[in-house]
């Protein structure tokens, strides 16, 4: 596992051989959220796990804009991982929107696209949920946190779901000056309208193969979104993993990896 810092994006590589695959995480996430999936793809594939702007170890920005994020990913890929040709790109939630915009704006970099439990539309109802989670993290008085358990105890009331709370606590980092949150919580909170939407990409259409993976217990992918998805991505094939919710790759990793591998091999 090799970690790399570009001018703006922190990345981690897993695997030394095989076809290249890029993973883009969702809101509150980090590239390493896809570590298990990437390791399961070895040795046939080598993976690049990207920390998107304002997340993980990547730089913070002044605004949240999907076109800027996609362009940052494109710059990173051109500088190394995709220097020899286009690569497969997998994006979940916020990362799925970045991946779609990347394919539309920089199709020469994307050999095939996997969009996980999100659509190129406004995510109805999600902003309230995300606002609650961001407010809950920001409300933790980090000056009183002496160990990770203190932060978990503070979040147990507002975020009673164990898996969600533990997922969010991955963003807590300790150092000589105490604990801090790695994501840019203030910017993300005031940018929820932009995060929930999808940018105007003009007349762009991505003609490559696309796998659209939905969680059966999630409502982020709906039948009414199919026309706009197919308008932008005409070669779309939709698969639903019934036992999974929104975090498909962590809630049904074996099924997700099998579906992903089948698409990468046969498209």
Mean pLDDT of the chain: 93
Q: Which of 47, 72, 93, 111 is catalytic?
A: 93
When pLDDT is cut at 50, 70 and 90, the band that residue 127 belongs to is confident
Topology, domain 2-123+199-266: Rossmann fold (3.40.50)
For residues 213 and 117, is the Cβ–Cβ distance under 8 A?
Answer: yes
Q: How far apart are CA 95 and CA 191, in angstroms?
A: 15
Q: How far apart are CA 267 and CA 199, in angstroms?
A: 27
pLDDT of 61 over the 90 cut: yes
When pLDDT is cut at 50, 70 and 90, the band that residue 129 belongs to is confident
- Residue 9's contacts (CB-CB under 8 Å, 6 or more residues apart) are 50, 51, 52, 53, 58, 59, 72, 73, 76
186 is catalytic: yes
When pLDDT is cut at 50, 70 and 90, the band that residue 163 belongs to is confident
Q: E strand or H helix at 90, and its extent? A: strand 87-92
Domain ranges of the chain: 2-123+199-266, 126-190
For residue range 137-154, list pLDDT tens digits in order.
Answer: 999 999 999 999 999 999
pLDDT of 6 over the 70 cut: no
Q: Which of 25, 92, 246, 249 is catalytic?
A: 246
93 is catalytic: yes
Q: Which of 186, 207, 231, 254 is catalytic?
A: 186
| pLDDT of the residue at 66 | 97
């Amino acid at each position: 596992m090799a970690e790399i810092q570009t001018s703006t994006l922190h990345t981690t590589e897993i695997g030394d051989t095989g076809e290249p695959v890029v993973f883009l995480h969702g809101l509150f996430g980090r590239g390493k959220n896809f570590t298990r999936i990437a390791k399961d793809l070895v040795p046939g594939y080598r993976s690049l796990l990207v920390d998107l702007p304002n997340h993980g170890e990547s730089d913070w920005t002044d605004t949240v804009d999907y076109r800027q994020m996609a362009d940052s990913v494109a710059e990173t890929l051109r500088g190394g991982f995709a220097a020899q040709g286009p690569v497969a790109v997998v994006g979940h939630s916020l990362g799925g929107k970045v991946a779609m915009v990347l394919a539309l704006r920089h199709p020469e970099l994307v050999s095939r696209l996997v969009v996980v439990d999100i659509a190129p539309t406004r995510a109805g109802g999600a902003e309230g949920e995300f606002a609650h989670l961001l407010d809950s993290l920001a409300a933790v008085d980090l000056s009183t946190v002496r160990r990770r358990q203190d932060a978990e105890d503070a979040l147990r009331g507002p975020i009673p779901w164990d898996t969600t709370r533990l997922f969010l606590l991955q963003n807590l980092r300790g150092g000589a000056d105490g604990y801090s949150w790695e994501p840019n919580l203030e910017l993300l909170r005031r940018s929820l309208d932009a995060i929930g939407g999808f940018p105007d990409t003009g007349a762009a259409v991505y003609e490559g193969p696309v796998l659209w993976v939905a969680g059966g217990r999630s409502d982020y992918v709906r039948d009414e979104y199919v026309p706009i998805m197919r308008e932008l991505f005409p070669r779309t094939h939709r698969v639903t993993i019934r036992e999974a919710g929104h975090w498909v790759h962590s809630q049904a990793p074996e099924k997700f990896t099998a579906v992903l591998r089948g698409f990468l091999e046969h498209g």
